[in-house]
Structure 1
Amino acid sequence: MQPSRPLDVVYDPLYTTSTSHNKYEGHKRRVVPNKRPISIKNNSGLVSGPERHKYFCRPVLPHLQAETPEVLYASAHDAANIMSISEDLSASTRSIGMQTMYRDSHAQTDPFSPEYVLPEGAVAPEIESLTNLRYRKGLPVTQAEIRMIEHNRKKKALKKVLPPMSDEASLNLRKRMMEAQEIMDLKFRENEIDEAHARRIEALQESLAEREKQSQAINSERMRRLEKTLMLEKEDANRRNQHDRIKELRKLANKRQRIQTILNQGSKKRDLIEEYADYASPVYAPQMRNGNLVRKSPVPEVQFKDHQLMTLDSIRELEKNLPPQIRTSPKNQFLKRAPLMKKSRDQMTMETHLLNVESAINKQHVQGEEKLPSSPYKGQYRAILQRPSTPNYAPQIAEAGSEVNALRLLQRLIRGRAVQNMMYEGKDRRAELIAELRESEEARRFLSSSFQVPAEETEITKSAFSHVEGEVVSELLDVLQKELIRNKEIAKVYDFAQKAAEDRHQREIEEGARRQLEDLARDRHDQIYCFVTDIHRSTANDYIDSIFEDAVEDLTYRDSVVQSIIMTKVIDPILNILEEENSEDTIVKDLVSSFLFPWVQKHHTQDQALLEKRKYTSAIQALLAKVSQSMRI
Structure 2
Amino acid sequence: MQGSRPYDALFDTTYTVSGVRDHYRSQTQAGGIKLERVPQFDNFFSELAHHPAQSFRFKAADKLPQHVPRDFQPQYVTKEDLLQRSLPQAVSGPHRYRYTKRPLYNPAARKALAENSHGALSHASQASFAAPAPPKPASRTVGTQSDYRENETQTTPFAPDYALPDQPSAKQQHLSQRYNCAGPELLTLQEMSFASGTHVGLAQVEAVDKRRLKRAFEASLPPLNDLEMLPVRKRMLDEWEAGEWEEREQEIVQEQDERLVRLKAKLSDREQQIERSNAERIAALRERRSSEKARKLAYLHKQRVSAIRHISEARKYLEKPAKVTKTTAVERYGDYASSVYAPFQREGRFPDSHPKGQNINTDPFQPATLHAVLDLEASLPRRALQPRIRTAKPAASLTYEQRKELQVTRDLQHISDLLASAKGATGRGSGDCWPCQVEEGQAAPAKLKAKRAALVTERPDTPSAPMPSSSAARDAAAVLLQRLLRGRAMQNQMFEGKEARLALIRELQLEEDGVGQCARPEAVAEELRAADALVGSAVMEMVRVLAEQDPGVQADMMRALQQRRRQECGTPEEATTSTSTSNITTSACEAAAIASSAARSSQSAQAADEGAAMAASGPLFGSPEQHRAAVRIQAVQRGRLARQQVEDLRGLQKALERFSPDDVERLVKLQSLQRGRTARRQAASEKEKVVRIQALHRGRMARKQVGEMRDEINPSRTGLDQGRKDAEAALVQLDPGVVRSGSRAAEDDQIVLIQAAIRGHLARKEVAAMRNNTTAGSNA
Structure-1-length-normalised TM-score: 0.28
TM-score (ref. length: structure 2): 0.23
More helix by share: 1
